[in-house]
Amino acid sequence: MKMTFRWYGKEDPISLEYIRQIPGMKGIVSAIYDVPVGEVWPMEKITALKEEVEAAGLELSVIESVPVHEDIKLGKPSRDRLIENYCQTLRNLGKAGIKTVCYNFMPVFDWTRSQLDYRLEDGSTCLIYDEEDIAKMNPLSGELSLPGWDSSYTKEDMKQLFDDYAEVDEEQLWENLTYFINKVIPVAEEEDVLMAIHPDDPPWNIFGLPRIITTKENLERFINLYDSKSNGLTMCSGSLGADRNNDFVDMLKYFGDKGRVHFVHARNVKLIGDKSFQESAHLSEKGSIDMYEVVKAMHSFGYEGPIRPDHGRMIWGETGKPGYGLYDRALGATYLNGLYEAVCKSNK
């Protein structure tokens, strides 16, 4: 496996120099953040990002993400133009030598949590999803601002989106995803780009909005939409593992054996209710996911692709973007590399 680290570009308080110092670190996961969703990423911006990463002695391994415009998810008439823009961005990325793209198809909200700074017993803080707190929230109030929420939406924009999605159930969302995949994957094949859809986080419907990339059955349905290696998955332990009905290790091995795992997000979560969880240290004993078994599963199907330590706690007084501090994610990377070395040596 290839260890990578999420980096948010020049605005990220964590420097590429510091990331490079993490033992075993090979690559960077990043994106172009100043191009409006739905517009083509200019070649010069892609090249500039790649050159900046490579100048620091690292590889631009994964683009996470090229966002999918809401009009595509809604199946609006404008989607053909937006999908063509998306395809041109993929052509530009392919020509720049960037061969893995992570994206998601979650309506309106990306990953969602109810609290940013839940304090654990050891004094560190983490992201948490509490089912009761979420149930009390009103996304149309115009007052909420949480991770995964696009802060550019006005109160009126949000109301319009919810009105639009009132006509979209899970099956309609599947139809719109199928339309998108059938247009995009042939271009990805031409450019030798691996598309890796990210599971919904959390993997269930929220605020009445449909979510479909949630279970083993639905991931199987997804890869069968278009039979191509380019149509693959980001396997996120923290997203899929948040549902106690999902056996993440089984899912990882199953889709890995099919050659459809193109990116891995390694994050641990501690399940504290039916649909409530808190993010924990990567160490297996701290969460509900056995990271040793996760790494062993990847080794079993010969995974050589990128993996990144996903959200971490905020520790040692570090401040900044919740879940994206340097220290705990660096500890996570080192832990995962140690597990991988142990698994490799035990299988010789």
Confidence of residue 96 (pLDDT cuts 50, 70, 90): very high
Confidence of residue 102 (pLDDT cuts 50, 70, 90): very high
* Predicted local confidence at residue 212, as pLDDT: 97
Per the annotation, the verdict on 236 as an active-site residue is yes
Per the annotation, the verdict on 69 as an active-site residue is no
Quick: pLDDT tens for 144-168. 666 556 666 778 888 899 999 999 9
The predicted model gives 304-317 an average pLDDT of 95
Note down the domain range covering 25. 2-108+169-269+289-312+321-346
**What percent of the chain lies above the pLDDT cut of 90?**
85
What is the C-alpha separation between 236 and 240, in angstroms, rounded? 6
Is it the case that residue 300 has pLDDT exceeding 60?
yes
The predicted model gives 56-80 an average pLDDT of 96
Residue 182 resides in a domain: yes
Residue 155 resides in a domain: no
Task: Please pick, among 69, 262, 265, 282, the residue that the annotation labels catalytic.
Answer: 265
Task: Please pick, among 69, 262, 282, 311, the residue that the annotation labels catalytic.
Answer: 311
* Predicted local confidence at residue 47, as pLDDT: 97
The predicted model gives 76-96 an average pLDDT of 97
Is it the case that residue 200 has pLDDT exceeding 90?
yes
Cβ atoms within 10 Å of 157's Cβ, excluding its own = 14
Task: Please pick, among 71, 102, 198, 335, the residue that the annotation labels catalytic.
Answer: 198
Is it the case that residue 53 has pLDDT exceeding 70?
yes
* Predicted local confidence at residue 110, as pLDDT: 85
* Predicted local confidence at residue 148, as pLDDT: 56
The residue ranges of DSSP E strands in the chain, in sequence order, are 2-6, 27-30, 59-64, 100-103, 115-119, 125-129, 194-197, 231-236, 261-266, 268-273, 276-280, 306-309
Tell me the β-bridge partners of 5.
28
Residue 145 resides in a domain: no
**What percent of the chain lies above the pLDDT cut of 70?**
97
Residue 12 resides in a domain: yes
What is the C-alpha separation between 53 and 36, in angstroms, rounded? 22
Task: Please pick, among 165, 324, 335, 340, the residue that the annotation labels catalytic.
Answer: 324
- The CATH code of the domain that includes 252 is 3.20.20.150
| Average pLDDT across the chain, whole number | 94
Whole-prediction pTM: 0.95
What are the two backbone dihedrals, phi and then psi, of residue 127, each rounded to the nearest 5 degrees? Answer: -85, 145
Quick: pLDDT tens for 233-251. 999 999 999 999 999 999 9
DSSP 256-324: HHTT-EEEEEE-EEEEEETTEEEEE-SSGGGSSS-HHHHHHHHHHTT--SEEEE----B-TT--SSTT-
Is it the case that residue 193 has pLDDT exceeding 70?
yes
In this structure, the chain runs to a length of 348
Higher per-residue confidence, 115 vs 42:
42
Token pair listed for 290: 């056995």
Residue 280 resides in a domain: no
Per the annotation, the verdict on 282 as an active-site residue is no
Query: Among 146, 72, 156, which residue's Cα sits nearest to residue 107?
Result: 72
What is the C-alpha separation between 2 and 102, in angstroms, rounded? 16
Residue 76 resides in a domain: yes
Q: How many distinct structural domains can be found in the chain?
A: 1
What is the C-alpha separation between 182 and 174, in angstroms, rounded? 12
Contact 239, 202 (CB under 8 A): yes
Is it the case that residue 84 has pLDDT exceeding 60?
yes
Residue 95 resides in a domain: yes
Task: Please pick, among 87, 102, 126, 236, the residue that the annotation labels catalytic.
Answer: 236
* Predicted local confidence at residue 109, as pLDDT: 85
* Predicted local confidence at residue 150, as pLDDT: 60
209 secondary structure, DSSP code = B
What is the C-alpha separation between 109 and 104, in angstroms, rounded? 10
What is the dihedral sign for C-alpha 293, 298, 302, 305? Answer: negative
Is it the case that residue 186 has pLDDT exceeding 90?
yes
Quick: pLDDT tens for 114-140. 889 999 999 999 999 999 998 888 888
Confidence of residue 143 (pLDDT cuts 50, 70, 90): low
Per the annotation, the verdict on 103 as an active-site residue is no
Residue 260 resides in a domain: yes
* Predicted local confidence at residue 273, as pLDDT: 86
